[in-house]
Structure 1
Amino acid sequence: MPAWKPRDTTRARALRNAATPAERLLWQHLARGQTGAKFSRQMPVGPYHADFLCRSLRLVVECDGISHDREPDRDARRDGWMRAEGYAVLRFTNAQVLGNVEGVVMAIRAEVARLQSVD
């Protein structure tokens, strides 16, 4: 039996409190199951924290700011780990969310529908 590891909920809480404007805007569209699936914010997933996580569909949605432009290899490793663990990952830039939140939400809804049809 694997050893139980506590989740880093203190960091998750701090990340939720320090959400970017894009994350706050996207959360307005993901909260309360508006996309057809329940999402949570800043959830620990293994050694990482997902900006938004749908546990039932194993779907991670990331909202990337400028810091992600500086370390693309880090994001690639993280996405690889997530996919190896069975998670689907969608990434959007802050600019995409702020400039076209409806399009971003439509893409998330499409992925939710696709994953629900697989089950």
Structure 2
Amino acid sequence: PQFFIADFYCASKKLVIEVDGKIHDFQKEDDQHRDDILKGLGLRVLRIRNDELKDVVNVLDKIKSELDS
């Protein structure tokens, strides 16, 4: 694709958050290609699976850990 839209983006932290549903199990190569493009732009990419959202505290910890690294 020539363009795509990230689920969430924080410009000040240069962080893209992608929330992945079941469909992403079947498009891993496409996702990797997008991640490579974003990383090439100096952005960090954090992928969170839909089922992880059941534990919001864990997701927030995962985001914080990414920001701290």
Same fold by TM-score greater than 0.5: yes
How far has the Cα of 1:112 moved from its partner?
Answer: 2.3
Larger Rg: 1
1:88 to 26, 41, 44: 44
Alignment of 1:50-65 (within 5 A): 50-65=6-21
* Amino acid corresponding to residue 65 of structure 1 in structure 2: G
Cα deviation for residue 56 of structure 1 reads: 0.9
1:111 is paired with a residue whose SS is helix
Q: Deviations over 1:53-112 (max 9, x none)?
A: 0011110011100111111100000000000110000001000112x2211111102222
After superposition, what is the alpha-carbon deviation per residue over 1:27-65, rounded to whole angstroms, capped at 9, x for unaligned?
xxxxxxxxxxxxxxxxxxx82211110011110011100
Question: Which structure 2 residues correspond to residues 1-119 of structure 1 after superposition, within 5 A?
Answer: 47-98=3-54, 100-114=55-69
Give the drift of 1:113: 3.3
Unaligned residue ranges in structure 1 (runs of 5+): 1-45, 115-119
> What is the count of residue pairs matched by the alignment?
68
Query: What value does the CA root-mean-square deviation take over the aligned residues?
Result: 1.4
Q: What is the aligned-residue identity percentage?
A: 35
The 1-side partners of 2:20 and 2:9 are apart by 15
